[in-house]
Amino acid sequence: MKLAFTKKEYLQRVKKVRREMRIRKVDVLIATDPGNMNWLTGYDGWSFYVHQGVVIHVDQEEPIWFGRRMDENAAMIRCFMKKENLTSYPEEYVQNLDKHPMTWLAEHLFVENGWNGATIATEMDNYYYTADAHRSLRLALPEARFVDSHNLVNWCRAIKSDKEVEFMKIAGKITSKIHQRILDVARVGVPKSHVVSQIYETAIAGVDGYSGDYPSIVPLMPSGKEASASHITWDERPFKANEGTFFEISGCYKRYHAPMSRTLYMGKPSARFLNAEKAILESIDAGLEQARPGNRTSDIANAVNAVMMKYGIDRQGSRCGYPVGVSYPPDWGERTSSLRASDETVLQPGMTFHFMPGIWQDDWGIEITESILITETGVELLCDFPRKLFVK
């Protein structure tokens, strides 16, 4: 199977990680986040429900993939590395309370390679690295020194290559197509579940000959009072008159995302809804004005907060965005910097963010958001869709 990126690009990524490992005095890194696995090796498969990962030694050019024996063939098909750098644990270690895959990894990779006394970095604050995984590693490698990677690989992913940007723009086209489909089919009396079926059909069909992939987050589409909660999904209830619904969705291509939200109001919007629309649109303009190389993530957030305060909306302390890129469920964010007043990350060309100054009040909410790319001279939108409150 053709790799999503060239072997040269994968090796450059690994080299970047190894350089950061030297700075942090780390001998071996274990990356269990499937987004990091994909970025480092090309591995792609629905196998992240079992223990798997990528091991990088600071002095070795190629990483080592490890996972369930059943999934090793997928690694042979999807990864760029030589076969000898793929290793797998027997099926008896799968979801067995008496035998942990990390114990096998320690005994069959670390001890055999003389790494049992190494400084080992693991992804401590990650969905895919469990407390028992860490306990098993520590018990099997008592001489090792364990440290938190502090999202080392995620930070190395921050600046996207030209090919990654290309994939995200394709995802953005799919996102725009999905939103158009939502506008075509959503109306009073139509069950939300039907609209979701159209979202998924459009998302997977893709655009311009590019097939879509499953997104890392399901469609979020709360209405009325439920829109005060930003992460409610859907059910069989129909859309009702005189309610606003925001649709937070993303197209996905080669596991790359470009999320975007738009809000649809069924009926005549209230004055507070229209006021909120003005606040969001003006705050987006103000934030985009600050989204340029050399500025900081806090500059975007402070611009948003200043506009919101002018409209009587207090968002101080809340973030208004986060980095996005390659990812797997349950999240399409990269979990590094944030667009918030306290974050001083310097913006650089190639960084990509979901910029979302949403408003969530006690009994209603509104979202209008954009995925953005920091360029050499400023900022570029990854989706092309009208930015406004839609009324139907």
Is 359:280 a contact under the CB 8 Å cutoff? yes
CATH number of the domain where residue 132 is located: 3.40.350.10
pLDDT computed for residue 180 by the predictor = 98
Q: How far is CA 321 from each of CA 295, 337, 351, rounded to the nearest angstrom?
A: 15, 9, 12
Whether 83 is in a domain gets the answer yes
Q: How many domains does the chain have?
A: 2
Same domain, 379 and 268: yes
Same domain, 81 and 173: no
Whether 214 is in a domain gets the answer yes
The rounded distance, in Å, linking the Cα atoms of 366 and 41 is 39
Same domain, 36 and 131: yes
Whether 64 is in a domain gets the answer yes
Dihedral (CA of 229, 230, 231, 235) sign: positive
DSSP H or E stretch at residue 77: helix 72-78
CATH number of the domain where residue 246 is located: 3.90.230.10
Same domain, 141 and 215: no
Same domain, 49 and 194: no
pLDDT computed for residue 314 by the predictor = 86
239: which 2 tokens? 């859309």
Same domain, 264 and 124: no
Which one-letter DSSP state was computed for residue 191?
A: B
Whether 142 is in a domain gets the answer yes
Same domain, 126 and 221: no
Same domain, 232 and 90: no
One pLDDT digit (tens) per residue for the chain, 392 residues: 689 999 999 999 999 999 999 999 999 999 999 999 999 999 999 999 999 999 999 999 999 999 999 999 999 999 999 999 999 999 999 999 999 999 999 999 999 999 999 999 999 999 999 999 999 999 999 999 999 999 999 999 999 999 999 999 999 999 999 999 999 999 999 999 999 999 999 999 999 999 999 999 999 999 999 999 989 999 999 999 999 999 999 999 999 999 999 999 999 999 999 999 999 999 999 999 999 999 999 999 999 999 999 999 987 778 999 999 999 999 999 999 999 999 999 999 999 999 999 999 999 999 999 999 999 999 999 999 999 999 99
Q: How far is CA 114 from each of CA 57, 102, 323, rounded to the nearest angstrom?
A: 12, 16, 37
Cα angle: 372, vertex 375, 350; to 5 degrees: 75
pLDDT computed for residue 317 by the predictor = 78
Whether 237 is in a domain gets the answer yes
Final residue of a structural domain among 122, 156, 190: 156
Same domain, 298 and 346: yes
Alpha helices in 216-325 (DSSP H): 271-290, 297-310
pLDDT computed for residue 181 by the predictor = 98
Same domain, 176 and 233: yes
pLDDT computed for residue 2 by the predictor = 81
Whether 2 is in a domain gets the answer no
27: which 2 tokens? 């001998």
Final residue of a structural domain among 137, 156, 175: 156
pLDDT computed for residue 316 by the predictor = 74
The rounded distance, in Å, linking the Cα atoms of 308 and 284 is 10
Final residue of a structural domain among 156, 188, 206: 156
Same domain, 56 and 96: yes
3: which 2 tokens? 């790799």
Same domain, 27 and 121: yes
Contacts of 381 (CB under 8 A, 6+ apart): 172, 370, 371, 372, 373
Whether 1 is in a domain gets the answer no
Whether 200 is in a domain gets the answer yes
Quick check: pTM over 0.95? yes
User: Which range of residues forms the domain containing residue 141?
Assistant: 7-156
